[in-house]
Amino acid sequence: MINMNIGPYNNRPDMGRLREIIRVMTKYHFGNILEAVGLKNRLFETLKLYIKSPEEVHEPAHVRLRLVLEELGTTFIKLGQVLSTRADLVGREVAEELAKLQDEAPPFPFEDVKRVLESELGVPMEEVFAEFQEEPVASASIGQVHRARLRNGDAVAVKVQRPGIADTVKSDIILMKYLAKLANDRVPGLRYYNLPGIVAEFERAIRKELDYHQEANNVERFRAMFMDDETVYAPYVYREYSTGRVLTMEYVDGVKLTDILKSDIKFNARVIAERGARCYFKQIFIHGFFHADPHPGNILVQKGNVLCFLDFGMMGHLDRSFRDRLAELFILLMNYDVNGIVNQLRYMNILTEETDLEEVKYDIIDLLDRYYGADVRKVGEILTEFTMPGMIRRHRIRIPRDFVLLARVMSMAEDLGERLDPRFNGLAVAWEMTHKLIRNRLNPLRNLDEVPAAIIELEHIMNDLPRGLISALQKLEEGKLKMELEHRNLDEISVRIERSTNRISVAMLVSALIIGSSLVTIPREALILEKFPFLGIFGFAVSFLIALALIVSIIKSRRLS
């Protein structure tokens, strides 16, 4: 397991790396952002040492952002790739641009490869490999892949992690956390995006990618899912020769989909597109565990049009309940059932209490009308549109992360299917699979799988219930039972009650003064000064002033309310 823990001792940002980030951002004309977070002025003198003359960049902002991330290297490229899956936060235009980020890097020397291998495996290379090609077949920012042959003759692909990359990533994440908090504190407009949360999500994702044990687990799980499917394949993992920094897998011969799309290689494109759609819908609806980067370079086509998936660093997860709801949502989308779609989104906790259901209904109608025609194919596109920032802010909806990832994956898969065969319609496969899933839900035997979990939960309840009741009764008897009540706006209600009570008291006082003043004006009872009932008139005057003040106060409060 790769140690990515960031302790209190080394959590200070690397100021040299910070200067580099500022230099690159200034170079691509993002100085306004630096000024907003208070960095440009602070390090301006240092910047003079790095920037002789900022080059003119005429590209739009989303393109310049991609160039910044590319120049800053591994960690920032990976951050861009994660953000490319979050169109709900950055918008479609930025997400599509960041999806172009290529994780490529110059290969590191074979001496370093050998040192990492022997350190991780604990034995000399010659004891494990009969052959090992020094030139890598692929090189990326985190690791590179070499072709080799084990002592037993098996051909393998060995993925070796780049030396020092874990420390580099750790240092950059500390810096990202610092910058995210700075931006969140100083730029109110950025708080909607929850930058510290984005960095935390990215940290979780890259932790997994740095740990080759996790990728090995993903490969084996995927392989088990399609063990009985002759149209889909995943390489075998050699666990005895794999560690947190070395991953040894079966070497698979095949042609990458990127090469098939660019050349006239003879494959049945329609069969490949149909099998790819069926495979993805199985991953999503049946297993709830799906390959989250269906890039053409990550899929090989073997003889017989068999699809072999590679690179299992990024995977999506959907629980059983969410898959069931998703299948129902698909059927409602394909039937153009707007009321059903709105209700389904409520069941999925995507619509919140703050959502205006009528307004969101009109937006869904507009969205469906843009895609519905003689032949509906773009369910992935519809889902992606629904996760856009404008829709989220306008209707205050809540989008689960894996729902966003799912929408992106489906959109990419639909696009790949159309590039292979323009006549291809993956929704026919989706329709068949979702209906099959709904039929299976009606099967009484399906619930048998849930019986053991239900029995365990019932046993816990039966064991805990008597103890809880006895404890509650004892506290009640002893007068120690406490209740916590959550109140909302009680302070405001209390103020209003107090204000009303004060007004009633004043009104009663005024009434008493008026009555008293009336009595003392009777000549027999009055204190007469030169035949004038002075005390009674004085009481009337005080009552009048108090009553006038009370009326003015009431009029003002009504205007303000």
Centroid of chain to Cα 184: 18
Instruction: Yes or no: say if 193 and 251 are a contact pair by the CB < 8 Å rule.
Output: no
**Residue 443 CB neighbours (<10 A):** 9
3-state secondary structure of 7: coil
Which helix (H) or strand (E) covers residue 433, if one does?
Answer: helix 427-441
What is the rounded distance in angstroms from the CA atom of residue 171 to the CA atom of residue 206? 13
What is the rounded distance in angstroms from the CA atom of residue 150 to the CA atom of residue 133? 12
366 is catalytic: no
What is the rounded distance in angstroms from the CA atom of residue 130 to the CA atom of residue 126? 6
Instruction: Yes or no: say if 270 and 420 are a contact pair by the CB < 8 Å rule.
Output: yes
3-state secondary structure of 60: coil
Nearest Cα residue to 268 out of 232, 301, 310, 295: 301
**Residue 45 CB neighbours (<10 A):** 8
Burial of 286 (0-12, 13-18, 19+ CB in 10 A): middle
**Residue 219 CB neighbours (<10 A):** 23
Nearest Cα residue to 244 out of 154, 94, 334, 143: 143
Tokens of 137: 């077949």
**Residues in a beta bridge with 155:** 149
Please state, in angstroms and as integers, the Cα–Cα distance from residue 133 to each residue in 127, 129, 145, 150, 256, following that order: 15, 10, 10, 12, 21
Catalytic residue among 293, 324, 366, 491: 293
The residue with tokens 């059932």 is 337
What is the rounded distance in angstroms from the CA atom of residue 274 to the CA atom of residue 267? 13
Tallying the residues shown for the chain, one arrives at 561
Angle at alpha carbon of residue 33, lines to 194 and 202, rounded to 5°: 35
Nearest Cα residue to 392 out of 431, 449, 354, 448: 354
What is the residue-wise DSSP string for 484-544?
Answer: ----SSHHHHHHHHHHHHHHHHHHHHHHHHHHHHHHHTSTTTS-BSSS-BHHHHHHHHHHH
Q: For the sheet containing 232-233, what is the strand order?
A: 232-233, 306-309, 299-302, 255-256
Q: β-pairing, 246-250 with 155-161?
A: antiparallel
Contacts of 248-251 with CB under 8 Å at 24 or more apart are 248/156, 248/157, 248/158, 248/159, 249/156, 249/157, 249/159, 249/219, 250/154, 250/155, 250/156, 250/157, 251/147, 251/155, 251/156, 251/157
Which residues carry out catalysis?
293
